[in-house]
Amino acid sequence: MAYTTIDKPSDYFNTKLYTGNATNPTTISGIGFQPDWVWTKGRDTAEGHRICDSVRGATKDLLTNVASTESTNSIGLKSFNSDGYVIGNSNGYNKNGNTFVSWNWLAGTAFSNDASSTSIGTIDSTGSVNTDAGFSIISYVGNQTSATVAHGLGAAPEMIIFKNRDIDTHDWFVYHQGAGNTNALFLNTDAAVSASASFFGNTTPTSTVFTIAGEFGVNKDSTNIIAYCFAPKKGYSKFGSYVGNGNADGPFIYTGFKPAFLLYKQITDAGKPWYLVDNTRDTDNPAEHYVFPNLSDAENASHGNKIDFLANGYKSRSTGTTVNASGKTFIYMAFAENPFVTSTGVPATAR
């Protein structure tokens, strides 16, 4: 069997940098595909992390750094096209002279599941799915009971990001296999991992469904909820955990590819933010230009928090308690620049 089925990860995930011009409309091109999930962050000033997707509709904003409801922003991300998207003159997307980064994922295949007809899951779901890349965007209406929802991936997701679109007092919930099925994390806060059977029913997702219990953030009755589901694909994506060692020669984390995108968090202690780095803002090692999904803060080039992207994984080069605390557990989400070995046997090289 080939090492990977994805020789060109940028066909499914790509990072885009641009400078705002405050013009409505402005076309952002060069993504390489029509994105279905776009995560945008202003790098220069305190602007929120903005999430748009093709399932909810391009103009529908969610912010990862707050527990707010979905809003309609007609001058934000206006539409998707075959090589990117169109934005208006909203400061969060296009402030004149400011620099921006967007991370873009491809789903693309329409998905619909009538649970009563298919006997898959107990709640109907719709969305967009890419089984090749292990990514789906799933919309459903909660019923506030223990329930299961079809995700369309054909493989068990190892990370799911949930947001109740209708209630502004409920966090972004995160299921991550490295934290376990009894626990949740919260993308909009720096809280430690939290345990409750009301999150995911103490049940690991299967190849067909994920489980939700009575927590309002994932299953409040008669509210609209969006779930971003990720199953690992060899040579393209990985969702894992590791333990820090507290020294500058940090642990090596094997991913099976050279990373293009890395989101990670120390989950043992409270007060530890989410960190996000990529290979486009940092073209050489170490990667140290961080943004924080739970904060609106501008990009931070902290020389105390360094990551080396390697041909087959990454390595922490810092001693800080938020990035490499000794004996503490970290979880991560990573996507590839290149697989460690392509399907034709060509190896990746370190940078």
Predicted confidence (pLDDT) per residue in 150-208, tens digit: 999 999 999 999 999 998 889 999 999 999 999 999 999 999 999 999 999 999 999 99
CA separation for the pair 185, 183 (Å, rounded):
7
CA separation for the pair 231, 61 (Å, rounded):
25
CA separation for the pair 236, 323 (Å, rounded):
23
pLDDT at 303: 63
pLDDT grade, residue 301 (50/70/90)? confident
% of the chain with per-residue pLDDT over 90? 92
pLDDT at 2: 61
pLDDT at 174: 98
pLDDT at 66: 96
Instruction: Answer for the pair 141, 119: CB distance below 8 angstroms, yes or no.
Output: no
Calculate the CA 347 to chain-centre distance. 27
pLDDT grade, residue 1 (50/70/90)? very low
Find tokens 């909203």 and name the residue: 90
pTM: 0.97
What is the amino acid identity at position 111?
F
pLDDT at 345: 63
pLDDT at 199: 97
CA separation for the pair 345, 339 (Å, rounded):
10
- Kindly tell me if the per-residue pLDDT of 122 is higher than 80: yes
- Kindly tell me if the per-residue pLDDT of 305 is higher than 70: yes
pLDDT at 159: 98
Instruction: Answer for the pair 80, 57: CB distance below 8 angstroms, yes or no.
Output: no
C-alpha distances (whole Å) from 164 to each of 13, 67, 105, 224 are 25, 9, 21, 6
Spell out a b/e string for 222-253, using b for 16 or more CB atoms within 10 Å of the CB, else e: ebbbbbbbbbbbbbbbbbbbbebbbeeebbeb
CA separation for the pair 297, 301 (Å, rounded):
12
- What residue ranges in 196-344 does DSSP mark as E strands? 209-212, 224-230, 237-243, 252-254, 257-266, 274-278, 289-290, 300-301, 307-310, 313-316, 329-339
C-alpha distances (whole Å) from 56 to each of 7, 9, 64, 225 are 30, 25, 16, 10
pLDDT, one tens digit per residue, over 254-300 is 999 999 999 999 999 999 999 999 999 999 999 999 999 999 999 99
pLDDT at 3: 82
Instruction: Answer for the pair 86, 78: CB distance below 8 angstroms, yes or no.
Output: yes
What is the amino acid identity at position 232?
P
